[in-house]
Chains A and B, each alone.
Chain A
Amino acid sequence: MIKMTSEMFLQHLANGISLGSLYALIAIGYTMVYGILRLINFAHGDIFMMATYFAFFGVFFGLPWYVSFPITIILTIILGMTVELAAYRSLRDAPKISIMISAIGASFLIENLAIVIFGGRPKAFPTEELFTKVVHIGNVSVQRLTFIIPVVTAILLIILLYLINKTKTGMAMRAVSKDHETARLMGVNIDRTISITFGIGSALAAIGGVMWGLKFPQIQPLMGVMPGLKCFIAAVIGGIGNTTGAVIGGFFLGVSEIMLVALLPGLTGYRDAFAFIILIMVLLFKPTGIMGEKISEKV
């Protein structure tokens, strides 16, 4: 155990919070899709990966970042909706196991297409001075991005909560997640609602992906796998199906991961296993997560 000064602690905390915010943005996509379809969208991590590539190529072809990033979001939404249409829609009444296999297939397809199209070698994500400039506060020096990320996440969460709780589309989403058949009888267009859910999740993944690229400026086709799995874990920790829970879970996972490495440097190699150990603990002792509600099974 090493001694830690308060500056170092603050520095790690800031890093943890900004990593946690990124996890949170991606975790929301998992939790929304799980809430509505009872399905792990295995391809979500890869949609996030594609977003970083869209942004990369936008800047690569000379577009300024404020043009490239919105285009990225639009392209990612289209990709997310396409995945839903191609891999999940026709299996809506199929056994669960088939849907999961299809999800895994979709994830592998995107990853390998990315390897074929973009090449397996990592690429350097274009960084923007505006975001990556280092600011000093006392003895703590952090990138501006470290503050921008949590703020963006908070704003997006507020917009999302408004969308889910106050608008008609949000009401439709909540209805579909409770019961497909009843929602259909009430005149909700199920397919469109699910499609919109995928669109929102993908948009958040795109924003997360762009900020991830700015924070960790090296992108490669398999970069979505680990964050994807971890963010699903974050969603489970928070209580799957619950948007606020996903954000809390994301923060929890991000901060505790950074702190683990900071406090016990000997365990750095085990960093990726840590999230899974937490997952297994949560599933065993509180499977509904922090904010989740218990769903009883009907015979």
Chain B
Amino acid sequence: MKKRDYYLTVISLILLVIFLYFADRYMDAYIVRILNLCAIYTVLGLSMNLINGFTGLFSLGHAGFMAIGAYTTAILTLSVNAKAQNFFLEPIAAPLANVVLPFFPSLLLAGILAALAGFLIGAPALRLKGDYLAIATLGFAEIIRVIFTNTQNITNGALGLKGIPAYTNLWWSYGIAAFTVLFMVLLINSSYGRAFKAIREDEIAAESMGINLFKHKVMSFTIGAFFAGIGGGLLGNLLGTIDPAMFKFTLTFNILLIIVLGGMGSISGTVISAFVVTISQEALRFLDQPMDLGFIVIPGVAGMRMVVFSILLMLVVLFYRHGLMGTNEFSWDRLINILSFKKPLLKGGKK
């Protein structure tokens, strides 16, 4: 790393911490919540990008992993009283009723359980390719949702859980997002990461170079599931209420939109697009609400926002397939080049 880049990185990280400090103290709850969502979607986007973008496995099971994570942390962090209040139809299963853990171990456990589920579903499903894998993982997410709707004494069924303590704050979400980014960068640049990318480019060629396809696929899938579980846990403790209907395919769609827009196979692209998508989802909320233009009131149409986002996804795939960053990563050189409007020198040209 060049010295200049090193300083620039350190300075921007310090600026981020200062910004978070002020945001945490002085900004209103709505903005803080959106900032939190941005960080959580960064974690989720990165975990999906590891599976779909870097390893080239088309998995649509993210909502399922998130559900496991969100329910694990929620059940573990709910106080004994809150549990009694939530489970009024059927009392909660005995060992869970009195277990209350702090936030961090709950999150960790959420990640581990999601990773375990990822391993169990991945080991058989990853023998499948392409769209079969997509349907099998989508089916897995549906099965999780159906199970959570029916296990009244563990998840409280369709009623969902309310009053989950709001442990998720900016420090947790941005800390975990930063850790995820760092972890992904290290992973992708390690020999494992190179193996993942080789599998994405050409499975048969990768196999003939001695890469154990199955091992690497399961590994990528399990790590992805781990971070999806943690992201789900953060989300549950941010929102305060969860129910099985939250974890429908739409949720996976949103994350898919993030990684497609950011570029399948780009860490920095995912981070940028997680912020862009999350903020624009909030900014476009007005489309769903009635609009008062002074002299005429246009009735709001619920669902208009999703129309915009599905059109956006299709436009990106049809006309701009590589997304914002393609498989490139952010570098200070490029940013400075863009900012200074300097035209790159022609080949062999002199200043």
Using a CB–CB cutoff of 8 Å, the interface residues on chain A facing chain B are: 34, 38-40, 86-87, 90-91, 94, 96-98, 100-102, 104-106, 108-109, 111-113, 115-116, 120, 225, 229, 232-233, 236, 269-270, 272-273, 275-277, 279-280, 283-284, 287, 297, 299
Contacts and interface: CB of A to CB of B under 8 A. Distances in A.
Interface stretch (B85-93, B100-108, B111-119, B299-307): B299-307
A269 B14 CA distance: 52
A146 B153 CA distance: 39
Nearest to A299: B204
Contacts of A106: 310, 314
B317 A225 contact: no
Interface stretch (B19-27, B124-132, B266-274, B331-339): B124-132
Nearest to B143: A273
Given A90-B318, A100-B134, A280-B125, A112 B310 contact: yes
B216 interface: no
A34 B135 CA distance: 13
B135 A269 contact: no
Contacts of B135: 40, 229, 232-233, 236, 279
Nearest to B121: A280
A128 to B, nearest CB: 31
Given A40-B131, A105-B313, A273-B147, A98 B321 contact: yes
Contact of A116 (B264, B301, B317): B301
Contacts of A233: 135, 139
A283 B143 contact: no
Interface residues of B, number: 42
B146 A272 contact: yes
Contacts of A87: 314, 318
Given A40-B131, A86-B314, A104-B313, 6 more contacts: A40-B135, A97-B264, A105-B317, A273-B147, A283-B136, A284-B127
Interface string B252-271: 01001000100010000000
A269 B150 contact: yes
B58 interface: yes
A276 B142 contact: yes
Nearest to A115: B303
Interface of B: 52, 56, 58, 124-125, 127-128, 130-132, 134-136, 138-140, 142-143, 146-147, 149-150, 204, 249, 253, 256, 260, 264, 301-304, 306-307, 309-311, 313-314, 317-318, 321
A104 B149 CA distance: 25
B314 A109 contact: yes
Contact of B52 (A34, A90, A97, A280): A97
A100 B58 contact: yes
Contacts of A283: 125, 128, 132, 136
Given A104-B256, A116-B303, A120-B303, A280 B139 contact: yes
A94 B321 contact: yes
Given A87-B314, A94-B321, A105-B313, A40 B303 contact: no
A21 to B, nearest CB: 22
6 contacts: A96-B58, A97-B56, A100-B131, A101-B260, A101-B313, A106-B314
